[in-house]
Amino acid sequence: MRLFDSLRSFASNLIHRSKTDREIDEELRSHIEHRADDLERGGLPRPEAERRARIEFGGYQRLKEESREALGSQFGEGLIQDIRFALRRMAKKPGFAIVAVLTLAFAIGANAVVFAVLNAFILRPLNVPQSESLYGLWRLSTNDMAQSYPDYLDLRDRNHSFESLLAYAVNQAALDTGNDPSRAWIDEASGNYFDALGVKPYLGRFFHSSDEHGPNSAPFIVLTYDFWRTHFQGDPSVIGRVVRLNKFPFTIIGVGPPEFHGTLMFFNPDFFVPMVNHQQFDTSDMNNRGDRWVFMTLGHLKAGVTPAQAIADLDSVGASLEKAYPKDDPKMSFKLARPGLYGDYIGRPVRTFMTALMLLAGLILFAACANLGSLFAARASDRSREIALRLALGSSRKRILRGLFAEALLISLAGGAVGLAASMVLLRALSAWQPISRWPLHMSVNPDAKVYAFALLLALASGFLFGAVPVRQVLRTDPYEAVKGGTVETKRGRFGLRISFSDVLLLLQIAICAVLVTSSIVAVRGLANSLHNSFGFELKNTMLVETDLNMAGYLGDKVPPMQKRMIDALTAIPGVDSVGLADQVPLGDAQPDSNVFADTTTDLRPTNAVTDAMMFKVSPEYFQAAGTALVSGRAFTWQENKDKPRVAVVNRLFARKIFGSETKAMGAYFKLPDGARLQVVGIAEDGKYGSLTEDPQPVMFLPILQSPSNSAYLVVRSSRDPEQLTLAIRNTLRNIDAGLPVYIQTRFKALDAFLFGPRMATISLGVLGVMGAMLSVVGIFGMASYSVSKRLREFGIRIALGAQKRELLQAALGRTFRLLAFGSAVGLLMGLAAGKVIAFIVSQATPWDPIVLGGVLLTMLLLGLLAGCVPARRALETDPLALLRED
Amino acid sequence: MTTQAQLLPGTLDLLILRAVSLGPLHGYGVLLRIEQISGGALLIEQGALYPGLFRLLRQGLLKADWGTSENNRKAKFYELTATGQKRLREETESWNRLSTAIASALAPQPEEI
């Protein structure tokens, strides 16, 4: 209450300052007038009476000042004085102020950035109304959210828990607005999509369930706001315009609101088309209940329905579907998942990593506070004479502490402001950044009020934290010591254990730094390792050319001849060694898979499958072009077409898993769900297919002539310069068909998507590691040079008495280095534990690696030497004569 | 004129409270009343009265209002609040106890004679 009152009088004082002043003046003058009246009555002439009255009153200005203070302006006045005093002190030693502000700016800035990202991805819900009741359907048997279209319709119509169940699929399409077809990312959305989400159009209208009248009945496009701005220059007359999508005419009917980017975070589609037009975008059969191409189904739970009730409801719908379609829907049970980060699939690693990062950033801030705390304590003990003198002269300890806190808070607020400003720049850049050029990935991490509040809170908290360090010291100061003269020693513990508070702070800092250094070295090493991994294909001298024959209008029988023509044309480019074609490539956009059955199995129900294997359909030259080694057997030939017995190349794991061993696998048969018998003619090396962190996967390669696909990736092997080669490839393909959308990149660049997570993790850990290192250098340097400067006299005497350099160094820095060694050991142990979290994101990140352990120790040693060399030199160069003369 | 005594630290507040307890007064009036009730025995620097008055005002022991004085001048009049009255009673009691104790301590003791 007192504080509140003081604050209030401080505030009202600021505003009413002149009014209070006037009133005091008036009252004091009234007193003098009254006195003069009395004196006049006593016989004095008026002017003389007034003069006497003024003299009797006493020192007017001084009394007015005292009156004003008595009236309650103490707190405010004092605070302003404290701030002024703090500013003056900082101006006197700008170096200290700058180092302190920058230290905090880094620490608070790092925290603000991490928090903003955490806020954007995890705390802030999707940008749709009532997003807290929005849930997606997660299928337990397949462990994903995909459904077939007929299943979606049944689930939508037969559940009683969702207000309206909507669905969407992610796809690509060639958009032709009149001249050059370009590839765009689209969401195929169910008719109720926008209505069920409750989103309102920015321009024009959305499509609705009432627009759906069977296959291809709704040729409408709803643009996202961003795509409208970038590709149509925000032109409002775009509504009603007819454009071509995969050569089919579509009408643009509306533009979505600016903040709406679909319901999957990071992944922003360019526009939305009705799902009923699916056949114009994909060859998969809409009405095939076994083909689960619908990416996600989601909806708002009805009011009063709990998630558990909804799951029971969905499971009962699922059970009836299981009964009706045992072949396509063998196991149909559900859980609910948040749609924004695709349930736990992206959500869990993102949450784990961001939480870990937030903790590390918190540690950085803590280390910074420890750092500044010990600097402040050192300064306070330098000022101990002044403080003692002030105490002796009657200043209260409270007042002195308030001055110290004013200084700490001033520094922390300045640091917070600088840090926040820097983090905003970084966040803006992050928001505008498109990390993987081929994918519509965006991170909208623009800071909001929560981020500002967070930064302010951190600044205040850290100010109080490091400001509190010297408190004990001030409270213990004995004014009598100052009067006696000589330096005022703050008393240390009387017992042998002489661990001071500042030692603990330094130890803490070093340990935190060691944790960060360990983590970042683990991450960097893991990333480097994962790049020198065996991928099961060559990264070097390989280009990946992506085309979509579907978008260019090639369907059915026209596809294989076109594919052969492209292969032949590219092979003819000078300098090209070989060209292979695949419907999908390992570590590419998608990894199609299929159940695999033993040759003896006749009932081809999914439950009878031996395994589920990834399936790539490739041309005969693919293995050569991709650099995938065959460990035995042969590749396909161009003669192995639809009329010949079906064959397959499998990887070693597949061979071992299905047939027991690689030798048994050669020449053996297996079955696919459609009943086809395939003979294994070759065995390829194992590799990475779906992600860099995956466990080994069984994989089969099928000849593309025997199971045609119209999606086509061309793998071009050539040692030519990638840029020239890109140009040559583009020209060659344009000569074949100018309307073919083509996307060319090096095989290495195509891995961006897979390296995105590890890279981000490594970069952020690296930045935190460097910051931690900087902090501990400052901390060690500060403490070491402070303790050296305190003991210069002692060193002078030691030198005068003939001390050796080694002894001197040991006296000067021994303690600091013992702290360094101990702190590093503690930090390293903690870092080893943290390595487990990192391994989650960065494959093969293991701290049990001599290079990591050695690297951490070396880094810490270097940091110590770096921080210790200046104070050490100062100690060694002590001139005993100069010192003895001084006192 | 009787001999004037210096004010003991901390006693000014008590005197102000006492003076005001007899009825609303303006600052100069407080001064005159103190002179009157102490029989002119206490010396107060005139201006020093005001920091004291304001301190009591801020502690909520006094309340003040602008009015017109008997001299037809604008002046601020002070009055005791309920807390002020309570405080005055307490302080008076403790002062009496203290002064009795001091007086008896300072009184000539039998063995001194």
Distance (Å) of CA A761 to CA A356, A695, A838: 11, 21, 8
Tens of pLDDT along A107-149?
999 899 889 888 888 777 677 888 888 999 999 888 889 999 9
Checking if the pLDDT of A181 tops 50, the result is yes
CB distance A276 to A214 below 8 Å:
yes
CB atoms within 10 A of CB A488: 22
Mean local confidence (pLDDT), A255-259? 91
Report the run of H or E that residue A788 belongs to, with start and end: helix A752-790
**Packed helices A449-467 and A344-382: angle between N→C axes, nearest 10 degrees:** 30
| CATH number, domain containing residue B95 | 1.10.10.10
Query: Cα separation of A26 and A308, whole Å?
Result: 75
Any alpha helices (H) in B2-69, and if so which ranges? 11-21, 27-37, 49-58
Query: Cα separation of A206 and A332, whole Å?
Result: 32
Shortest CA gap A43–chain B (Å):
17
pLDDT, residue A438, reads 67
By C-alpha distance, which of A72, A62, A71 is closest to B53? Answer: A71
Q: Name all contacts of A804-811 with Cβ < 8 Å and 24+ positions apart.
A: A805/A876, A808/A875, A808/A876, A809/A872, A809/A875, A809/A876, A811/A875
Query: Cα separation of A63 and B46, whole Å?
Result: 10
Give residue A495's pLDDT band: very low, low, confident or very high (50, 70, 90).
very low
| Lowest-pLDDT choice from A136-140, A347-351, A590-594 | A347-351
Any alpha helices (H) in A791-849, and if so which ranges? 792-800, 805-839
Residue of B nearest to A29 (CA): B75
Mean local confidence (pLDDT), A333-362? 84
Query: Cα separation of A370 and A372, whole Å?
Result: 6
The three-state secondary structure class of A595 is strand
Residue of B nearest to A34 (CA): B28
Q: What angle do CA A173, A179, A181 make, to 5 degrees?
A: 20
Shortest CA gap B94–chain A (Å):
24
By C-alpha distance, which of A820, A866, A832, A106 is closest to A515? Answer: A832
Mean local confidence (pLDDT), A350-360? 83
Residue given tokens 């120790």 in the structure block: A857
Instruction: Mention every residue, 6+ apart, whose C-beta is less than 8 A from residue A828.
Output: A514, A515, A518, A853, A856, A857
Checking if the pLDDT of A496 tops 60, the result is no
Residue of A nearest to B30 (CA): A31
Residue of B nearest to A56 (CA): B46
Checking if the pLDDT of A157 tops 90, the result is yes
Tens of pLDDT along A372-384?
888 888 777 777 7
Shortest CA gap A119–chain B (Å):
47
Nearest to A70 among B28, B58, B71 (CB): B58
pLDDT, residue A884, reads 64
pLDDT, residue A255, reads 95
Mean local confidence (pLDDT), A21-30? 86
Hey, are the CB atoms on B69 and A26 less than 8 Å from each other? no
Give residue A497's pLDDT band: very low, low, confident or very high (50, 70, 90).
very low
Residue type present at position B69: S
Residue of A nearest to B31 (CA): A31
Checking if the pLDDT of A350 tops 70, the result is yes
Mean local confidence (pLDDT), A160-189? 88
Give residue A668's pLDDT band: very low, low, confident or very high (50, 70, 90).
very high
Question: Is B69 contained in some domain?
Answer: yes
Q: Is B73 on the interface with A (CB under 8 A)?
A: yes
By C-alpha distance, which of A306, A346, A298, A296 is closest to A142? Answer: A296
CA pseudo-torsion sign A30, A31, A32, A36: positive
**Packed helices A344-382 and A397-432: angle between N→C axes, nearest 10 degrees:** 150
CB distance A686 to A537 below 8 Å:
no
Mean local confidence (pLDDT), A500-517? 83
Hey, are the CB atoms on A34 and B69 less than 8 Å from each other? yes
Mean local confidence (pLDDT), A658-666? 90
Alpha carbon A158 to chain centroid, angstroms = 40
- Domain hosting B68: range is 11-102
Which residues from B are below 8 Å from A35, CB to CB? 28, 46
Which residues from B are below 8 Å from A66, CB to CB? 50-51
CA pseudo-torsion sign A402, A403, A408, A412: positive
Question: Is B6 contained in some domain?
Answer: no
Checking if the pLDDT of A159 tops 60, the result is yes
Tell how many helices (H) and how many strands (E) occur in chain A. 26, 21
Tell me what the pLDDT averaged over chain A comes to: 84
Checking if the pLDDT of A77 tops 80, the result is no
> In A146-209, at which residue ranges do the beta strands (DSSP E only) sit?
166-176, 182-189, 203-204
Any alpha helices (H) in A325-396, and if so which ranges? 344-382, 384-392
Question: Is B111 contained in some domain?
Answer: no
Query: Cα separation of A123 and A506, whole Å?
Result: 34
CB distance A703 to A565 below 8 Å:
no
DSSP state of A603: -
Going by their DSSP bridges, the two strands A271-274 and A182-189 should be labelled as parallel
Tens of pLDDT along A703-755?
998 988 877 899 999 999 989 999 999 999 988 888 788 888 898 888 887 78
CB distance A799 to A878 below 8 Å:
yes
pLDDT, residue B10, reads 67
Which residues from A are below 8 Å from B75, CB to CB? 27, 30, 34
DSSP state of A749: G
Which residues from A are below 8 Å from B28, CB to CB? 30-31, 34-35
| Lowest-pLDDT choice from A184-193, A503-512, A527-536 | A527-536
Question: Is B110 contained in some domain?
Answer: no
Tell how many helices (H) and how many strands (E) occur in chain B. 4, 3
Checking if the pLDDT of A16 tops 50, the result is yes
Give residue A880's pLDDT band: very low, low, confident or very high (50, 70, 90).
confident
CB atoms within 10 A of CB A565: 13
Q: Is B60 on the interface with A (CB under 8 A)?
A: no
Q: What percent of chain A has pLDDT over 90?
A: 28
Residue type present at position A494: R
Mean local confidence (pLDDT), A152-180? 89
What parts of chain B have a pLDDT lower than 50?
1-3
CB distance A641 to A579 below 8 Å:
no
Tally the domains of chain B.
1
pLDDT, residue A488, reads 46
**Packed helices A501-531 and A344-382: angle between N→C axes, nearest 10 degrees:** 150
Tens of pLDDT along A413-448?
999 999 999 998 888 888 877 777 667 777 777 778
Q: Which of A34, A40, A60, A74 to mutate to test the interface with B (most CBs of B within 10 A)?
A: A34
What phi and psi, each to the nearest 5 degrees, are found at residue A193? -50, -60
Hey, are the CB atoms on A31 and B73 less than 8 Å from each other? no
Any alpha helices (H) in A210-343, and if so which ranges? 225-231, 307-324
Q: What percent of chain A has pLDDT over 70?
A: 93
Beta bridge partners of B65: B77
The more confidently predicted of residues A346 and A15 is A346
Q: Interface of chain A against chain B, CB under 8 Å?
A: 24, 26-28, 30-31, 33-35, 37, 56-60, 63, 66-67, 69-72
pLDDT, residue A73, reads 55
CB distance A552 to A180 below 8 Å:
no
Beta bridge partners of A701: A616, A649
Which residues from A are below 8 Å from B59, CB to CB? none
The per-residue DSSP string of A445-494 comes to ----HHHHHHHHHHHHHHHHHHHTTTHHHHHH--HHHHHH-S--PPPPPS
pLDDT, residue A493, reads 40
Q: What angle do CA A121, A127, A133 make, to 5 degrees?
A: 90
Mean local confidence (pLDDT), A185-213? 93
